Structure 1
């Protein structure tokens, strides 16, 4: 827009009525959202100049895409590409709304439910769900976390969930050919008066939580509650010169004994929660509380997606920005 046309546009704002002002604000908000999304995508291209097809770093501008993102033409293979080509977000038709969903996932406030966010953005709830699964694939595995000094370890538990599973549907459709699943549905415990198994059972999935006083932390889902499994998971995490603080589980004792690690056992009753003045597991207990607060609104995520939710919490606690996720895609 030319300068004098822009000045004429600003002067015309004084003549707008309240309804027109509201419409103008919505339009400007949408344009700002699209502009910010385009900037994040183009920043990814500016960071890596290489062609995603042949790796040549020679290129020239070649118009813009349908979503107004700068397109380039490779001087080597002559193919065109943009900042989204070859990335996990390459086939998203509304990158501006995807950025809104990503900011909701990684923001400081609690993330909205899929249904609430879909209503806010005017999208289908399954679109928001697919975007979240896409983000799970981008953030992936956080790699090996290094711990030192006083290392605290404990487990929390998540109830097993088979959301989306068709096993009971298949059984009811053909009970003669399809055997019933190994456990009742959770709703059957209330509707049919079944008794819950007391204490921890094999339907409670253990999640190992490790933290040190330097701020390093880790959530790791374990396949079972066996001491050998716990020992296998803890062995590469605790260095030989560290001090391990945990409860009295056999897995922790075996790790300490095998590696010659100083080990302090703390209890859950008053008077036993702190050993020798500074050895406790209050940091991991705090992480358990944050995990419970984070996972509660999802009403028990499907077990097959639990690792994604755990990694999502780790990314939120680490303060990862949406721009970092876009660059990693």
Structure 2
């Protein structure tokens, strides 16, 4: 092996500069593709289980195209470590890590496609396949002081070829007073002082809907802070948790020095500023972008491994 490496080094040194550059690019692609699969395989081997019958007696079953395949002793079906993940049946393995950097940089679709040398269609498909990971990782338990508030995003059918309404010439429909329900989508955000976040797009903001979403998420000894929206009052009464109402219109922004909703409102502000960089987001994909932003908020220095590590939380 050592002699082979020495021969390779000698041959590489004799290559013209352009061919050396191509060789470096090729080796980097191999390293990128290998690190993705290695992490997924390492995660699978921690808790090996057949995705078909859930048996744990698994054995290796060859390496087609250099990727490890497994076979279940119980049902005799074969599979790879990417099954039941967003990476299943995805091609261009060597471009996954470069595309992760596009996600970390919050690049638009076309710029991501150009950087990774893939089609716009592939870049769009990959974005929402990869974003299905952070979309599923939400806080399952909120405790202590929990701030709750909703924010509004304009309803959008961006990218759709069959609109359910007449297209707006510019912006939204300004006819009439107030905000029309059909033109806006409410997003509920619940955030505790440990920076744990649970969010959800709402079809309705009544107390029954809110109770169904948050009843098992908020600890019994928590203190819920919200504005004067009556649905929050009814929800907290049904949950039998302490509730502090902050009515900003009457100048009540803080109670007892610690109870307020300024953290969740600041979260809304950062979320809107970030989503505005995409020049509008289709409503049907909004949950993916909410998960994307939660991922950024939860990691001080996010990297490619952080994205892959989320798969561990889901298995």
TM-score (structure 1 length as normaliser) = 0.78
1-side partners of 2:233 and 2:296: how far apart?
A: 32
Q: CA–CA distance in 2 between the matches of 1:326 and 1:237?
A: 22
Give the 3-state SS of the residue equivalent to 2:160 in structure 1: coil
Change (3 A) 1:119 1:227: same
1:116 aligned partner: 111
Give the direction of change, closer, same or farther, for the CA distance of 1:253–1:125 in structure 2 (3 Å limit): same
Equivalent in the alignment of 1:173 = none
Q: How does 1:91-130 map to 2 (within 5 A)?
A: 91-105=89-103, 107=104, 110-130=105-125
Range moving further from structure 2, 28-37 or 53-62: 53-62
Check if 1:10 corresponds to 2:13. Answer: no
Give 1:70's match in structure 2, choosing from 68, 71, 81: 68
Q: What is the rounded CA distance, in whole Å, between the counterparts of 1:160 and 1:317 in structure 2?
A: 24
Q: Is 1:220 the counterpart of 2:215 in the alignment?
A: no
Aligned to 1:241: 221
Give how far 1:147 is off.
Answer: 2.0
State the 1:19 CA deviation: 3.3
Q: Structure 1 residues 50, 186: CA separation in 2 closer, same or farther (over 3 Å shift)?
A: same
Is the contact between residue 118 and residue 128 of structure 1 (CA under 8 Å) also seen in structure 2?
yes
For residues 282 and 93 of structure 1, what CA distance do their matches in structure 2 show? 45
2:46 and 2:196 mapped to 1: Cα distance?
A: 28
> Judging changes above 3 Å, is the alpha-carbon distance between structure 1 residues 101 and 259 closer, same or farther for their aligned structure 2 residues?
same
- Inter-CA distance 268–96: structure 2 relative to 1 (3 Å threshold): farther
- How many angstroms apart in 2 are the aligned matches of 1:86 and 1:238? 30
Q: Which runs of 5+ in 1 are unaligned?
A: 169-180
Q: Is the contact made by 1:36 and 1:96 (CA closer than 8 Å) also made in structure 2?
A: no
- Greater C-alpha Rg: 1
Q: TM-score, normalised by structure 2?
A: 0.81
Q: 1:242 to 1:78 in 2, by over 3 A?
A: closer
1:64 deviates by 1.5
Deviates more, 1:138-147 or 1:36-45: 138-147
Match of 2:30 in 1: 31
Q: CA RMSD in A?
A: 3.3
Distance 1:120 1:208, change over 3 A: same
Matched-pair contact (CA < 8 Å) for 1:205–1:224: no
Cα distance, 1:42–1:244 mapped onto 2, change above 3 Å? closer
Gaps of 5+ in 2: none
Q: CA 1:55–1:257 in 2, change beyond 3 Å: closer, same or farther?
A: closer
The equivalent position to 2:255 in structure 1, one of 242, 261, 275, is 275
Of 267, 270, 281 in structure 2, the residue corresponding to residue 287 of structure 1 is 267
CA shift in 2, pair 1:15/1:197, >3 Å? farther
Residues 144-184 of structure 1, C-alpha deviation per residue, up to 9 Å, x if partnerless? 6322221211111111011243444xxxxxxxxxxxx5x54
